[in-house]
Every structure is written in structure tokens, then in C-alpha cells.
Structure 1
Amino acid sequence: MGRPFPNPQGLPFLLLLLLPELRVLSAEAPSLFYQLTAVSVAPKGTPRFWASGWLGPQLFLTYSSGGNAEPWGAWRWEPQEPWFWEKETWYLKTQERLLQEALSLSKKQGAHTFQGLVGCQLNPDNSSHHTARYALDGADLLTFDPVSRVWSGDTVEAWNVKESWANESQRAEKDAEFLLTTCPQKLKSHLQKGQGNFHWKEAPEVRAGGHVESGSTQSILTCQAFSFFPPELELSFLWKGQPVAAKGVEPWPNGGGAFYSRGTLLVPFGDEALYSCVVQHPALASSITVNFEASGGLPMPIRVSLVAGSLLFLVSLGAVVACVVICRKRGGRPAPWIFRRRAGDDVGSLLSAPGSPQDSSP
């Protein structure tokens, strides 16, 4: 199990660490797992314990210190008894206490993380397979066998935790009952009441664009896919129809149980229109292709040259205009842009010089 980052709700990083493992565990049978995390030191404003519940690869529950267990994603609309989420909250509060006690037994200095992965799978014959694994600072520490009621672990830290848990009244029996009875019953209930949620698919919304950084002669193309489920999504860039490698295309949770993916590609300025972004997803009848448009700007060296040329032109134009004005005034004529409006005229005309025949006309 990977080491998590203390994060409010504890989701974005932990989902990435946990998803591959859950996909393997649930590849052949329905599964229900709880991922538990306790930290000895948490940054201000972040919880010291958080948990997530998984039905197969789907996040269906979240919990953090001081709060309640809450449904997630499509499971918000699963019909359940009023007391169902209260029992989930009670179970996770108990796990919070036990994991924090286990953390306090560590003799190591500094901040530490204690994690647990607890749950079950249904086999084709309707029997269940159980999992109860614990880790300290990302390294496996303990496993629990509910049949023999025994925790297994070889390190000093593992021995300290085993002794502590063994001294708690009926701890082994409660853990065994949860793994062998309660967990399979919950999973079967979800399979019955939320069957449609297991087939939930949400098509991605795709956006693409590019920009040129100041002083650069290259463009950064970005392709983004929003709010899709399941997380299996393929995002790729093409150059003249041929695949090219891109950066950062892994799925990330973006709330509501859905996912987000983003890819970037650095290309020569002016070649943007030669590239396209292709997104494939199980919720799409066909892939989405978005073509990039040529940049409307110019590279910095060209922009600087044009600005300098424009300034030189304006200075030259100003000198010519000043020369014309001075020459006209010396000849007794007004500046060429002064207009007056006479009665009956529809358009303005130049003011004539004082004493001219135009001024003396009625």
C-alpha cells in the first residue's frame, strides 16, 4: 500500500494509489473494500483520519475525522434504510480509534502513517473471500485471518500492535464477524439495491486549446476530459494522424465520483493545426476528435520587430504632419484637420484663412 498525503477528505492522491489494487481484487468478482488512513501529524485544517469505501472500482463512501460517512457518486441515490449510514459512521469511527492507537505505539520519531485495507469478494459459488491488511509508512505490517482469529506480522511495531489489539475485549471476534458475515451481507445488499450503479457510465466532456508562453517560439497544446466514469479513458495526441507522446494523461478524481484527465504537448509555433486530440471512453459510441487551430499570435521576436517598426512609422508620420502644419501656417492657411460647418452644408469644410473671399461671401 502506498503512502498517502494528508489531504482533506483524503481522496485525490489515495484514489490513484488504490485504484490499481482494487481493479485486480475485483477483476473476477464483485467486491466491497474500505481503505483506512490515520496520520500521527496532520497539517492545520486537515483530518488525522479518513476513509473511503469501494464497490469494485467505484468509490461509494467517504469519511473523515469529526464527520459522518457519506455516500459518493451514483450511490447517493441508492435506496437504503435510514440507519444504514449511521452504522457505517459507527464502524469507521471505531476504525479511527483503533488505527490512532496503533500509531501511538510506534517508537519512531517524526510523522507516521498507518493504513488498512479491509473488505471482501463474492466468489462465483456465492462464498466470500476476505482481506484485512495493514501498513505502517507504506510498508506491509500486519494481516488478519478471520478463520483462525490471528494477526500475522514479524516486526517490533507489528508485535506491539498485535499485543494491543489482542488485549481489547473481543477484538478478534468482531473483526472476524465483519469480514465473514457483515461485509458479504452489505455487498449482496448493494448488488440488489444499487445494481444499476455498477453499470454507471458518464461520457467525458472534452476541451482543447493552446497558448504561447512569453518569449517562446513554441506552443503548449492542452487537451482535457471532464466528468467521466469509469476511469478507463484513452487520451492521445496525433500529428498528421500519427500518434505522438504526451504528458500527464492519467485519470484524477474531480468530485462526485467522476474523473478528470489532462494531457499537454509542446509543439513548434505555427504547427498547431497539424495536431489533434483523440479521446476514447466506454460511455462513447465513437471516439471524440478535436482539431487544434493555428495560433492567432506571433512569436516574441516577430512581435518585437513589428512593435519597433510601428513605433518608427508613427514617429516618422508625426514629423511629416508637423512639417505640413508649420508650412501651412507660414502660408497663412489653417491646419488641414480644422473644419467648420456652414448653414446649409451637409458636410464640414475647411475653414478659410482670414480675409479670404470665402469669409467675405454672404
Structure 2
Amino acid sequence: MDTPNNLLRELESLEVSSNQDWSKLCPDLLRKIIESLSSIDYHRTKHVCSTWYHVWKTCAKRRLCPWRIIYQDKTYKLLDLGEDKIYTTQYVGLSDNTYFMGSSGNWFLMVDSHLDLYIFNLLTCEKINLPSMDSTPIRGGHREWGHFVEPCRKDRVSEDIYGHKRSGAVVWINERTSDYFVAWIFKQHYLFTYKKGDDSWWNWNSNWETGGKNLGYLDLAYKNSKLYLYTTNNHIKIIDFSGDFPVEETENNRYRDHPFKAPWIEGAFVMTPRIAIEKSGEVLVILSLNIRQELSYYVFKMNLESGKWKKVVSIGDDEMIILCHGVTVRAPIQDVGDGVKSGSIFFVEDCDRWPTYYCKSDCGIFDIATNTIKWHEKPRERTNKSHWFAPRF
């Protein structure tokens, strides 16, 4: 079996010059080198050039396994559970003054201390700046911020977005075409969306009214050019962003007339519902519950024939949920250990704001079928936050 050192000696024996065209390196040798790299470098090689990308596609596939990122001052530890490795590094674009809002694969939606939003690739350090939200100082040294959004008026929100409270947010990006979409909720009453090519942020706060009161939003998800919104009246709205202008789906929204009604559970305190979209396109509603000081998760799915929501104990043979991610992610073919398996929910304390006095750590993995939790050890060092994310290999 070739080792990294043997591969390096083989590469050195080629006696390539400094002006050698590395895109013409022997594919078999290049494949061996790529497969011997760490997970992070393995991912980065596909961005070198088109030739390397095509060789990368023929490499042995890495195990599909969510990673855990731990913020510690200006250092970030990446825990790869699939390979049982820890990567410690510093990243330009992430710091103590940035706040995580949402993620899609390696791409993180961030807001910094200047209240500027951007998308950041955790593995390649690519950064995409988003339109600013016009910031204006006010008395007391605090800030308000807003932006002239279509169609006609300016809304202001406060800098509470940067702090301990999580606002619902989704980000999606197509790495091949560089198309992307971002949506986020502020204080349940503001919804902002931005699609690559838009002139400004879209503000949806004034678009819907029920009974004279603005409709609120509890959570959101995005898949196949459609934004799914879980509203404060327990309905699911769907906005189609595939065209030049977003359009609400009404006739094709099979959830429209079937609001979710959480069941009464004795002794349980229910946190804010979350949603996730399955590979099939069906909506899952996830309830986080405190049942007699024990954390649990219930997953519900609507029967498309009867229109009734039912609790499920399985979400498919090859799907997992990263809470607050918005969509299910592919599970490894075989159990990795440490709770990483099909039918799992990866959660962190920041998603639900559940009381920490009865929890063993700030994150863990919940097994839907067995109703058990695998708590992951909390680092001894002081940490700001930790998150789960699913790298795209």
C-alpha cells in the first residue's frame, strides 16, 4: 500500500521544473496523492483546475459525516468524526466579532461587528460579500440598521442580530455555477431574502397580513429554488424563486390547508418548531421538548393523502438532520460511531436555547428510532460556540 511518504518520493523522482504544468501530472499518480491527503486538503484539490477536479471525482469517496466546528478565541478546531481527526487552524473571515447565522455544506452565512453579511467557505476561505444593511449610529452608542428594499420603504432592525439569540437563516450555493440564495428572519416579524443578481434585499414583512396583524415566521428552509416558511399560525408557505421574481405557491402547496398542530404531551415544555426538507421534497417538523428535565426530539411528517401530521421514527435509510440546517443531509453507508448514523439529529444548544443546567454538553446527536442522545464532550478550554456542518466532498 502506498504511503504519503512513498508518494512524495515518487513525485520527487519526476524531477519536475518550477515551470512544470501541474495540470498535466499523470492522473494515476495525482489520484494517489489526492487520496492520501487530509480531508481538508482533499477537498481543496478539486478547486485547483479542471483537470484536477476530474481526477478528484474518480478518487475513492470519503465517508459522509458531519463535522463539528468549535470556536476558541481566534482559533477554530474542526472535528472530523468520520476519520477521528482534529484540525486546528485560523481562518480569515471568521473571528470573535462574527456571528454564525446558517450554513450549507462548507458555506457559512455570517454577520460581523459592522453588521455586514457575507457567505464564507470554511474549507477554501472563499468569501462572497452581500449587500449591506445601511447602518446609522443613534444615542447611547447602539446601532440601528436597515436597507431600502423593494418595493418602496425602508425598515430598521437593531443590532440584536449580532449576539446570543439565533435568528432563523438559510443559505444555498451552487459551486459549479456560483449561484446562491440567502434568507433570514429577525425577531419573527422580519423576513429578508437575496438571490444572486438581485438589486437589493427583498423585504417580506409587509407582503402578508392576517386579521390586521403582520404574519410572523418561526423557521425556514430552502430546496430546489423554493423557500419554505413555518409561520406563527403554524402554516407552511412556499415561495418559488426559480423565475425572475419570487412567487408564492398556492395551488401547488399541498401543506397550505393543513396547519401543524403540536400534540399535548404531559409534563413537556416545547421549544420553537424547526423544519427540514427531505430528499423527496417532503417537509419534516421537528419539535424540541424538555420532558421532566430530559431533552428529546419528536419528528412529524404529513400524510399527503389524509393531510394529517403523524409522528415518525424514521426519516429514510440514508438521511440525517442537522438542526437549523433546513434540509436533510446524506448519512454514511455504515455507522461511524459516536451516534453518527442514519436517522440522527445533530443539535447544538444555540439552536433551541434550552436550559443548560440539565444538559451534559452544548451539543449532541439524537437517535430518532431509540429516543436516546449521544452527548459529545464539551472542550475544557473556553469556547464561544460550536456548530455542526456537513462538508461537501
Give the TM-score taking structure 2 as reference length: 0.23
Give the TM-score taking structure 1 as reference length: 0.24
Instruction: Indicate the structure whose relative CO is greater, using CA pairs within 8 Å and at least 6 residues apart.
Output: 2
Name the one with the larger strand percent: 2
Name the one with the larger helix percent: 1
| Structure of higher CA gyration radius | 1
